[in-house]
Amino acid sequence: MIGYTTIGTNDLDRAVKFYDELFTHFNATKPIQMDRFIAWSLGDGGGLFGIIKPFNEEEATPGNGNMVALRAKSQADVDALYKKALELGGTDEGAPGMRNDVAYFSYFRDLDGNKICFCHFDM
């Protein structure tokens, strides 16, 4: 259903380095690389995850209540990705664990303060 998501950054090079390292876990590629926008893909026809320097040239700021959730293949993957995000300088927003007896989640903020979730649904 989702074609792509974008989150803002004020330092594209720093953000690319962060997500390149984090997304090695998925073997993601970057099919779109423009001056202000970079997007990663799993190459499976699914949605893209992109970072962008806002086109209006205003400062990128994380929105209150905005979050991107990325699916992981297992609870162990959620744990590993969360740990890697923190090692890369991300900050904790919720350690890995079951939520609502349905799904396993972890939450962190990236280097620009964007809230990201890794999730695995046990259904």
Tell me how many domains the chain contains.
1
Rg value, the chain, Cα: 14
pLDDT of residue 1: 65
Domain that holds residue 18: 4-54+66-121
Is 0.85 topped by the overall pTM? yes
Instruction: Judge whether 49 lies within some domain.
Output: yes
pLDDT of residue 97: 96
pLDDT of residue 45: 82
pLDDT tens over the chain, length 123 residues: 688 999 999 999 999 999 999 999 999 999 999 999 999 999 888 899 999 999 899 999 988 889 999 999 999 999 999 999 999 999 999 999 998 888 999 999 999 999 999 999 876
Q: Beta strands 48-52 and 68-71: pairing type?
A: unpaired
Q: Which residue has the tokens 């609870």?
A: 75
Tell me how far apart the alpha carbons of residues 37 and 5 are, in angstroms, rounded to a whole number: 11
User: Sheet containing 103-109: which strands, arranged edge to edge?
Assistant: 68-71, 115-121, 103-109, 91-99
Instruction: Judge whether 117 lies within some domain.
Output: yes
Instruction: Judge whether 39 lies within some domain.
Output: yes
Q: State the SS3 of the chain.
A: CCCEEEEECCCHHHHHHHHHHHHHHHCCEEEEECCCEEEEECCCCCCEEEEECCCCCCCCCCCCCCCEEEECCCHHHHHHHHHHHHHCCCEEEEEEEEECCCEEEEEEECCCCCEEEEEEECC
Q: What is the CATH number of the domain that holds 35?
A: 3.10.180.10
